[in-house]
Structure 1
Amino acid sequence: MILSLQKPDLASVIESEGITLRQRGRTLWACCPLHGERTPSFKIDPERQQFYCFGCNNGGDVISFIQKYRGLSFKDALRYLGIEQGPLSRERKAEIELGRRKKAAVREFRAWVNERHRELSMKYRCLMRAKELAKSEEEYRRNPYACMEKLWEHYLDVLEEGSDKEKYELYQLDKQTREATDLSHMEVEA
């Protein structure tokens, strides 16, 4: 009888081991924890739940990662990860669902950080180009977006170098602002 195992999220497990991951496109990267290096060559594909290191040629799933990283047997790696064999209890199913929701929220947050940074960078570059082309400071100040310069600089600083807490505060503020200015739910009376 073959049992289907509920594996924990690979990126979450790797981060819980104290390894910092950086997102590049759809993949996550880190310096390989399986061998010493300075340049990130350890790639994680969150969709496929697989990792591969281009430096030491190790790869696999969350179980094989823990086996290699912790030096454990397959069974011990399952125990370490808390993977249950057999039918899942209601509590475990609820725990798994909560974990999925948390992972989805983290993915949404990371996507927001990347998208907002891209959007603000583009707007800021356009504004700086307009400032460059303006014949005077007064002409530049007539630009309707000139008043946003300092705010956009601050947001870009937070998105580029701020802590996760600062980025999350900015995310919450942005979310509240968008909800407050969303008029799609209002009915118009004629």
Structure 2
Amino acid sequence: MTGRGSFFIVHSLPSGDLMLSVVELAIIREKARTLMDRWIKPDEGEVSIAYGAYLPQVGVSMGQAAADMKASVGHGLGFVFGDIVRTLELIDVEVRPGLSETDRIPFAALVRAPSDVSKEMRHQKAVLGAFLRYGNLDPATNILNRPGVFAMQMFSPAMEAGEAGRWVERINERQLKRSARWIH
């Protein structure tokens, strides 16, 4: 997670230019391949609507980014939390490409995330930079090779089990627009 006011910045690394948050760059430099991860368990966490913008990695077209977003549905997304990479489940995603600048894709997503992370995100204390988590890659390699970032700025209150099927009706369009603009 990246603190409020922090940005996703293009960094020049020996392998080329790469978009990372300040937190991600620091933890990769410190831990590299010893960076640990923790996958969310099937019965863990709570379901919420996450608001934010998808930021394509350097060199990834907006068309490819939109396809990558849809392909991520049903899979785990990794994110740096503390000194490890944790995961949340991306259950579904709704995009609003016309709401923002051309360098991002605004979205609302139905996610199942660890309760402590959800609580922090409800208070808008940080931006969660989530990425499709590949089980065959160590966390640092995954971060350095991701096609983009689901930059999440806010989570809604937890939903009851029966509410998830009608989540699209509960999207707060004003919050979606605000969150997408706030992400840098």
TM-score normalised by the chain length of structure 2 = 0.22
Give the structure with higher Rg (CA): 1
Give 1 or 2: higher helix fraction.
1
Give 1 or 2: higher strand fraction.
2
TM-score normalised by the chain length of structure 1 = 0.22
Higher RCO structure (Cα 8 Å, ≥6 apart): 2
